Amino acid sequence: MKYILVTGGSRGIGRAVCIRLAQMGLPIIINYHSNEAAAKETQQLVEAQGVNAELMPFDVCDEDQVSKALDTWEDAHPDDYISILVNNAGIRRDGVMFMMSDNDWHDVLRTTLDGFFFLTRRILKHVMPRHHEGRIINIASLSGVKGLPGQANYSAAKAGLIGATKALALETAARNVTVNAVAPGFVETDMTKDLDEDALKQMIPMKRFAKPEEIAEVVAFLASPGAAYITGEVINVNGGLYT
């Protein structure tokens, strides 16, 4: 059986993606780092869609944790494999560069880029030999497309993810594995609750933040059979803020 794995699936965009992709009829694996209560809420919401949901806790930027979690899962599912991977896990540590700590720089890059690398490399080893329609979908950001002040670390991480998306798409296309990115603008999630939403909305032509479900719809399209000929693309979902 095919499975879908969503990293950072306990809240926000990740939760919305899990719920929406459950409507494709495939079981969902919900990765989370530390918030087990929120992950269990997502699990219940996914199961309400009529599919099975499994929790898989690990830190995406810890290679040992990634390997152990997937080893355990593969041992329990010898005839199954993960055909759709959504690399959603990410963190923000905003600040102007001249005051940014080494940890704030490295933690943001490691979560996005090391997390993408460790997990995607492992999943591809099982997807590519099958020549089925595999999907790698990376959640990038407006910050990685145009850059935003106070986010040199986050912009670098997401721009790097976009570059990796385009390169990997060329490596996997002949095996029917597509690799695409979704670049949201400002979205109503816990990650943006510390921002001045009223001021930022004035910069957005549509005068509002996106809902997580609107990002999930784009992910669902890229995961669908109808998107089988789309690869190496970055789809911006930002209300017209940057085109």
Residues belonging to the active site:
154
H/E element, 81: strand 81-87
The DSSP annotation for 129-179 comes to GGTS-EEEEEE--HHHHH--TT-HHHHHHHHHHHHHHHHHHHHHGGGTEEE
Rounded CA-CA distance 43/113 in Å is 26
What is the DSSP code (8-state) at residue 240?
T
Rounded CA-CA distance 58/10 in Å is 12
Which of 137, 26, 21, 156 minimizes the C-alpha distance to 89?
137
Instruction: Locate all alpha helices (DSSP H) within the chain, ordered by sequence.
Output: 12-22, 36-47, 63-76, 102-109, 115-127, 142-146, 152-172, 197-201, 212-223
Torsion 124-61-57-5 (CA) sign: negative
How many Cβ atoms from other residues are within 10 Å of residue 238's Cβ?
21
Beta bridge mates, 56: 31
